Structure 1
Amino acid sequence: MGAEVEVKDEESITKLSTKSRFRYNSPLVQVSLIGLVCFCCPGMFNALSGMGGGGQVNRTATNNANTALYTTFAVFGILGGGIYNILGPHLTLAAGCSTYVLYAGSLLYYNHQPHQGFVIIAGALLGIGAGLLWACEGAIMTSYPPPNRKGTYISLFWSIFNMGGVIGGLVPFILNYHRNEAASVNDATYIGFMCFMSAGTLLSFAILPPNRVVRDDGTRCTDVKYSSVSKEATEVLQLFTNWKMLLIVPAAWASNFFYTYQFNNVNAVLFNLRTRGLNNVFYWGAQMLGSIGIGYILDFSFQSRRMRGFVGISVVALLGTAIWGGGLANQLPYSHDRPQSEKLDFKDSSFAGPFVLYFSYGLLDAMFQSMVYWVIGALADDSQTLSRYSGFYKGVQSAGAAVAWQVDTHKVPFLSQLIVNWSLTTISYPLLVLLVMLAVKDDNKTEDEIENEAPVPSSNKDINSTAIST
């Protein structure tokens, strides 16, 4: 009788191990939820920005707003990891998400009252909120998954997040299909974005703190208490002398710098209003493909973790060189002084070449950023350290973006912008290789060996104990 009970217990544990990945408190569900939050907020913001000028004919207001946005983002991106460690995910995410709603509302206001002051203030507040959101997101995405599957979970997040850009691109395409090219996008477009962003703010309360997330092997993501202001201030300051973070700086600076060029000087300059929305559907769709592809390479291509890192960086470097080379060929025929005579529509025969290039830019963006996140995730396992690392990455990234928006505002030649973008990404590859070589611990164990070493939960209660509480 006792033996039968023991056998049944073992069978129930085996079934639990198979089904547990779909528990509410599992890393899979929690990473999917943070993906949905980002789908609704930064995903929709990306669709809005991708139209060039936030959908406005005059890009000056949004360029200045984006400068304010990324300036405050640079500061709060770095501070965001410490704030997350003090407040936890609920307050950090909700505060961050609400600023996206305000920014979309400011552009709705600008449609009727073309005074850029409100848009710039909303942009500055969004920078604060984005710093909080992305530091929280980075901690969740890099610390919740099992160590040997971080690339897969990053791909999952990136796919869900960028689906927001796909859906968000359809909104302006459909609602402005017959709209005059000389007009800005209509009010309904901004209202639609605000509805999605509001939903994301509410959804942020569904995210569990790290000490209540249980992996399939029964281990918790972390069991640390939230930190203090003095400790976080000290830890954040030390990031600026951390050699690992210094090696990431060029990649971080480059990773948002190219958005200004791609959105304003390729999509907005070459294509008409409705086609820009359609292009963004495929730009963000390409990001989904890119993240899945690089995620597979970084998790499954080789047994050695270091080798996977080297191969992933090499693939992105080769693809990036080819895509920026294509961008150079596309850029040579037009400039500020030699504008294209007529903007392209998706029905034009000459649409295909520039469209494929813009699609490829989206593919490269996802592969580049997923690769950097994988490297960051390989540097540590606990959420506190990774929240600081992710916050530093987003802070430097945003400082680069702030500079890029002002570069475009001051009418720097398109060709110069392209060369700078290409150079920044190229410089980052050997530094990331060096970081993987020096700081990433190799892991040559097979999946079976990892599973055999993993602790088995003594009962269903241990693994599901936090599922009923949010």
Structure 2
Amino acid sequence: MGFQGGVADEESGTELSTKSKFRYNSPLVQVSLIGLVCFCCPGMFNALSGMGGGGQVDPTAANNANTALYTSFAVFGILGGGIYNVLGPHLTLAAGCSTYVLYAGSFLYYNHHKHQAFAIAAGGLLGVGAGLLWAGEGAIMTSYPPPNRKGTYISLFWSIFNMGGVIGGLIPFILNYHRNEATSVNDATYIGFMCFMSAGTLLSFAILPPNKVVRDDGTRCTNVKYSSVSTEAVEILKLFFNWKMLLIVPAAWASNFFYSYQFNNVNGLLFNLRTRGLNNVFYWGAQMLGSIGIGYILDFSFQSRRMRGFVGIGVVALLGSAIWGGGLANQLPYSHDHPPTRLDFKESAFAGPFVLYFSYGLLDAMFQSMVYWIIGALADDSQTLSRYSGFYKGVQSAGAAVAWQVDTHKVPLLSQLIVNWSLTTVSYPLLVLLVMLAVKDDKKTEEETPKEATVPSSNKDINTANST
């Protein structure tokens, strides 16, 4: 059956309507679906990590597990884009999601046996899975939307994804409301996380490959067939000599480096068990607000896309400086040797540190959404962007692996804060330079849209697309 204003379906020869944004094969629905997958898997992982120490009294096991996680993530984040291009979304995303379930299960085991080995091994496997998942997610989020609305779609994804952290924060808050501060979270907390993560694994099979996704103007995301292992190996190696990727390295390294400090040494040290869960509800809720705000600036603030990029970086830089300045004032009164008295959400002294932790979540979303927008502005095809996103996640994870060991070795808290603040600050001028040299304004982008982004106009094109 056909619809006026539709485009030909590659397999059946029928037409697909492009009038409704809520078509199953529309970018809006597909980006929403990958958002739900990340809601269930990394969203719940974030809630688990955000409690400090993975919900355990002693954070050593979680720190070592996270070191293993981000070490393998650094490798498979970089390789993930190539693997996604070879295997496609279903196998890549499902394999990645399944490792989140195992990780949460390892802490359920640790609750009873206190053996780190399972948690560390599960962390290493999760790093492999997370590399696959985030490379696929990055390709979908940056290549499926129209070029002039990538900021909006990134904020949509980020809002859905971080709702997982909000719901995930409620799980430990409710289930551990009356528990003693000297205990770890209960078994039901980890089981709840595992149920959500299992649902995300099943939901990943609903994601369509890029050549099946049709934008409202009738263009497809890409019509090239999946790549080969040799091609991807060469293209991934080229990333290490790509000047665009080298300019992103400081921002990528900084973008997860601050998690160990914020989770363990702000939320974990300043607040009691139930309050940490409540704080995470607002930390990840702040991420939703931050992504929406920066998404609007990056898509609608000026007609020139390059100017929108400059303004977005400027806003994040100013806000980041103010928030880290507040973090410095908050950090000065306590240290590892002089820990603070843990606060409950019912105490009046709770307000100031809570606002700071909320602001950290706001800044995280704005910073990462800004970087994803810049990556999305460097190309339009799924294959290139999957490699760029994988490189970003790989470098990001290498930084995180170092950060978790920094915390394990009890580096002074003030030093950790200063390093985090410095890393984000150094990245801003390099991102400005990247936007100046590599991001084209909207008119140029439309004129130079790559041929693979168009609907097949011949039987040869259709046959090539069908071979995927």
TM-score interval for Structure 1 and Structure 2 normalised by the shorter chain: over 0.9
What is aligned with 2:391?
392
Distance in 1, Cα, partners of 2:95 & 2:276: 31
What is aligned with 2:40?
40
Deviations for 1:415-462, whole angstroms, at most 9, x for unmatched residues? Answer: 000000000000000000000000011125899xx9xxx98999xxxx
What is aligned with 2:411?
412
Distance in 1, Cα, partners of 2:426 & 2:48: 30
What is aligned with 2:321?
321
Q: In the alignment, is the contact (CA less than 8 A) between 1:158 and 1:291 conserved in 2?
A: yes
Corresponding letter in the other structure for 1:356? V
What is aligned with 1:462?
none
What is aligned with 1:170?
170
Pairwise CA distance, 1:255: 0.1
Q: Work out whether 1:383 is the aligned partner of 2:377.
A: no
Aligned positions of 1:364-375 closer than 5 A: 364-375=363-374
Distance in 2, Cα, partners of 1:114 & 1:34: 35
Aligned positions of 1:208-247 closer than 5 A: 208-247=208-247
Q: Work out whether 1:349 is the aligned partner of 2:315.
A: no
Q: Work out whether 1:196 is the aligned partner of 2:196.
A: yes
Q: In the alignment, is the contact (CA less than 8 A) between 1:305 and 1:444 conserved in 2?
A: no
Pairwise CA distance, 1:338: 1.2
Decide whether aligned partners of structure 1 residues 455 and 79 sit closer, same or farther in structure 2, where only a CA change above 3 A counts. Answer: closer
Q: Work out whether 1:153 is the aligned partner of 2:153.
A: yes
Decide whether aligned partners of structure 1 residues 125 and 456 sit closer, same or farther in structure 2, where only a CA change above 3 A counts. Answer: closer
Q: In the alignment, is the contact (CA less than 8 A) between 1:303 and 1:446 conserved in 2?
A: no
Pairwise CA distance, 1:203: 0.2
What is aligned with 1:426?
425
What is aligned with 1:279?
279
Distance in 2, Cα, partners of 1:42 & 1:54: 14
Q: In the alignment, is the contact (CA less than 8 A) between 1:217 and 1:457 conserved in 2?
A: no
Pairwise CA distance, 1:18: 3.9
Deviations for 1:107-136, whole angstroms, at most 9, x for unmatched residues? Answer: 000000100000000000000000000000
Q: In the alignment, is the contact (CA less than 8 A) between 1:211 and 1:220 conserved in 2?
A: yes
**Matched residue of 1:256: which SS?**
coil
Deviations for 1:331-375, whole angstroms, at most 9, x for unmatched residues? Answer: 0000011111x2000000100000000000000000000000000
Q: Work out whether 1:335 is the aligned partner of 2:335.
A: yes
Q: Which runs of 5+ in 1 are unaligned?
A: 1-7, 459-465
Q: Work out whether 1:66 is the aligned partner of 2:63.
A: no
Q: In the alignment, is the contact (CA less than 8 A) between 2:35 and 2:161 conserved in 1?
A: yes
Deviations for 1:98-157, whole angstroms, at most 9, x for unmatched residues? Answer: 000000000000000100000000000000000000000000000000000000000000
Q: In the alignment, is the contact (CA less than 8 A) between 2:257 and 2:400 conserved in 1?
A: yes
Distance in 1, Cα, partners of 2:442 & 2:206: 33
Corresponding letter in the other structure for 2:429? P
Q: In the alignment, is the contact (CA less than 8 A) between 1:138 and 1:386 conserved in 2?
A: yes
Corresponding letter in the other structure for 1:92? T
Q: In the alignment, is the contact (CA less than 8 A) between 2:5 and 2:18 conserved in 1?
A: no
**Matched residue of 1:241: which SS?**
coil
**Matched residue of 1:64: which SS?**
helix
Corresponding letter in the other structure for 2:39? F
Deviations for 1:153-192, whole angstroms, at most 9, x for unmatched residues? Answer: 0000000000000000000000000000000000000000
Deviations for 1:256-286, whole angstroms, at most 9, x for unmatched residues? Answer: 0000000000000000000000000000000
What is aligned with 2:269?
269
Distance in 1, Cα, partners of 2:456 & 2:421: 50
What is aligned with 1:305?
305
Count of aligned positions: 445
Pairwise CA distance, 1:245: 0.2
Corresponding letter in the other structure for 1:241? F
| TM-score, normalising length: structure 2 | 0.92
Q: Work out whether 1:119 is the aligned partner of 2:148.
A: no
What is aligned with 1:5?
none
Distance in 2, Cα, partners of 1:31 & 1:455: 20
**Matched residue of 1:66: which SS?**
helix
Distance in 1, Cα, partners of 2:316 & 2:368: 10
Distance in 2, Cα, partners of 1:366 & 1:11: 36
Deviations for 1:23-48, whole angstroms, at most 9, x for unmatched residues? Answer: 00000000000000000000000000
Q: In the alignment, is the contact (CA less than 8 A) between 1:82 and 1:232 conserved in 2?
A: yes
Corresponding letter in the other structure for 2:437? L
What is aligned with 1:181?
181
Distance in 1, Cα, partners of 2:247 & 2:6: 48
Decide whether aligned partners of structure 1 residues 81 and 129 sit closer, same or farther in structure 2, where only a CA change above 3 A counts. Answer: same
Distance in 1, Cα, partners of 2:19 & 2:164: 30
Corresponding letter in the other structure for 1:76? F
**Matched residue of 1:257: which SS?**
coil
